[in-house]
Amino acid sequence: MSKTKITINSNGSIKVEGEFEILDKSGAQYDLGGREIIALCRCGLSKNMPFCDGAHKGNFEHEAIAFALPQKKQD
């Protein structure tokens, strides 16, 4: 299996590329039509949720800059 790459786009979607599957909350798999690159909505405005349809343009702002999370707490 190839590595999956996830990119958080500034003022836009989450781009997912590689080998992956997307499931709904009940575990049913979305049919991605053979796509190896998709965009997931972050703004909540898409008419095609959970996928991006470009509705964020001019309506959503978030500068995506990577940072380190704090260390995971030990149990």
Number of structural domains, the chain? 1
Please indicate whether residue 2 or residue 36 has the higher confidence score (pLDDT): 36
Phi-psi region of 55 (alpha: psi -120 to 50; beta: other; left: phi over 0): alpha
Reported pTM: 0.88
Reply yes or no on whether the pLDDT at 1 is more than 70.
Answer: no
- Contacts for 49 with CB less than 8 Å, ≥ 6 apart: 41
For residue 73, the 8-state DSSP code is P
- pLDDT at site 75: 78
- Residue 60 domain boundaries: 1-65
CATH code for position 52: 3.40.5
Residue 7 lies in a domain: yes
Are 19 and 63 spatial neighbours (Cβ–Cβ below 8 Å)? no
User: Which helix H or strand E contains 14, and what residues bound it?
Assistant: strand 14-17
**Which tens digits make up the pLDDT trace of 9-51?**
999 999 999 999 999 999 999 999 999 999 999 999 999 999 9
- pLDDT at site 2: 72
